[in-house]
Amino acid sequence: MSAKFEPIIGRYMQLELSGRPHRVYVEEAGEGTPLLCLHTAGADGRQYRGLMNDERITRNHRVIAFDMPWHGKSSPPQGWHDEEYQLTSAQYTAMILAVVDALDLDKPIVIGCSIGGRIALHLALEHPERFRAIIGLQAGAHVDPYYDLNFLHRPDVHGGEVAAAIVSGFVGPDAPATGGRRSGTTCKAGPACSRATSISTRSTAISAPASPRSTPNAARCSCCPASTIIPARRRRRLRWRTASPEPRPPS
């Protein structure tokens, strides 16, 4: 059986950012007008692998995605363990311009999602002459805090699994089945999604009802129809309850 390789090329570059040396991972595919892709917070350039494998895009565009330091395959700077990670808009903007200069990109198109989309607004406002086009996905000039994550800091809640279940709910129902929706990376679909939304029945924050039909006002994971239901009353308690755990009901 012969292997089929995707047209994506990945490599590391040594780059000075904010006066400190960094090791930044970059992937690219295609030829033509440079298209620089900015990933979301806490993620990495894998979010754009669909574009890098889309011949309709790569036949005329050089698609490039880099992992921000502390993200994906990009290492944090030396001495990172003695400091707290912080990222300002000015630092992020300077980072993007440094990558553009390091790769010798002539007025690239830039596309960013979420935090990448928000910084795209800064690029459009402060450096419009450096780009031929700027695309913001889910770009907001200002977003007030709208959720409370204190419930993750509990001994009876598996924070990683709950966060995965929440992320899976962000994936649209029309997301391609062969992309991130089924891969278990962007979305915890399939067995991973079921595991993430089910959570252990030992947790008092989320439990697994026997049947969707028996649970009124329930919410289902949007990408895994067969996954366990999270009742609305438990979602409210999960979101707002930050006090000590309630006693478990007798089995």
Helix intervals (H) in the chain = 49-52, 55-58, 89-102, 115-126, 159-168, 180-183, 190-198, 232-240
Q: Name the nearest CA neighbour of 21 among 29, 9, 13.
A: 13
pLDDT, averaged across the chain: 74
> Which pLDDT band holds residue 204 (cuts at 50, 70, 90)?
very low
Lowest mean pLDDT among 85-89, 92-96, 103-107: 85-89
Does pLDDT of 164 surpass 70? yes
Does pLDDT of 218 surpass 70? no
- Which tokens belong to 10? 């990945």
User: In this predicted structure, what is the pLDDT of residue 237?
Assistant: 41
Q: Using DSSP, state whether 168 is helix, strand or coil.
A: helix
Amino acid at 139: A
Q: Using DSSP, state whether 218 is helix, strand or coil.
A: strand
User: In this predicted structure, what is the pLDDT of residue 32?
Assistant: 96
Q: Name the nearest CA neighbour of 198 among 146, 158, 232, 240.
A: 158
Lowest mean pLDDT among 4-18, 40-54, 84-98, 139-153: 139-153
Residue 110 and residue 128 in contact, taking contact as beta carbons nearer than 8 Å: no
> Which pLDDT band holds residue 25 (cuts at 50, 70, 90)?
very high
Residue 87 and residue 54 in contact, taking contact as beta carbons nearer than 8 Å: no
> Which pLDDT band holds residue 162 (cuts at 50, 70, 90)?
confident
Give 23's strand partners.
14
Average pLDDT of the residues in 22-38: 97
> Which pLDDT band holds residue 146 (cuts at 50, 70, 90)?
low
∠ Cα 77 79 83 (to 5°)? 100
Domain coordinates in residue numbering, the chain? 9-137, 150-240
d(CA 180, CA 175): 8
More confident residue, 207 or 127: 127
- Which tokens belong to 191? 């067995």
- Which tokens belong to 172? 């649209």
Average pLDDT of the residues in 27-46: 94
Residue 119 and residue 38 in contact, taking contact as beta carbons nearer than 8 Å: yes
User: In this predicted structure, what is the pLDDT of residue 251?
Assistant: 52
Count helices and strands (H / E) in the chain. 8, 8
User: In this predicted structure, what is the pLDDT of residue 229?
Assistant: 35
Does pLDDT of 202 surpass 50? no
Sign of CA dihedral 98, 74, 114, 137: positive
Does pLDDT of 154 surpass 90? no
β pairing state of 33-38 and 109-113:
parallel
d(CA 228, CA 24): 39
Does pLDDT of 191 surpass 70? no
Match 């000075």 to its residue by tokens.
Answer: 16
pTM of the complete model beyond 0.85: no
* Superfamily name with CATH number, domain 9-137: Alpha/Beta hydrolase fold, catalytic domain (3.40.50.1820)
Helix intervals (H) in 129-171 = 159-168
Winning range, highest mean pLDDT, from 155-169, 197-211, 214-228: 155-169
User: In this predicted structure, what is the pLDDT of residue 169?
Assistant: 73
